[in-house]
Amino acid sequence: MTEPQTHQPTSEHGALALDLVRSAARFTRSSSRIPGVTYSSIAWRVLADLERDGASRITELAQTQRVTQPTMTTLVQRLEGEGWVVRAPDARDGRATLVSVTDAGVSALAAYREGAAALVTPVLTRLSDADRAVLARAAELMLHIADEV
């Protein structure tokens, strides 16, 4: 029987990268526990991706979120039922359909983000000005890193 492989960072940068991945994932899970929200984090990521990147095919959305195409089709149908996305023929390929976020979807996403921020804000108020400044800079850097990866 072989021992399970452990992935140990090979450098100081690797250790930092691992810490960032762990803390970002844990923070995302914690801050998304919004009372009354029934959609998965994948639904919110899809809306955010459509808001940021524009219309996309279901296949591309599924690949980005690492789910099967039938799973993404079901999710898009639910989001469409809420009025948060619309589907339209792809002008470049009549066989394909593009999914776009609606104004209602953008509003729902904004409300979700505000709910998440409301969970975090009380904790931030207990931090020092210096710690909040560090977090503000870290948020900028995390966005930059996310754009590079």
Chain segment 39-48, per-residue pLDDT in tens: 989 999 999 9
Q: What is the pLDDT of residue 138?
A: 94
pLDDT tens, 55-96?
999 999 999 999 999 999 999 999 999 999 999 998 888 888
The answer to whether 29 and 116 are in contact (CB under 8 A) is no
pLDDT tens, 91-146?
888 888 999 999 999 999 999 999 999 999 999 999 999 999 999 999 999 999 98
Cα 55 from Cα 75, distance rounded (Å):
16
What are 81's strand-pairing partners? Answer: none
Cα dist. 57→1, 94, 114, 142 in Å?
A: 44, 12, 28, 27
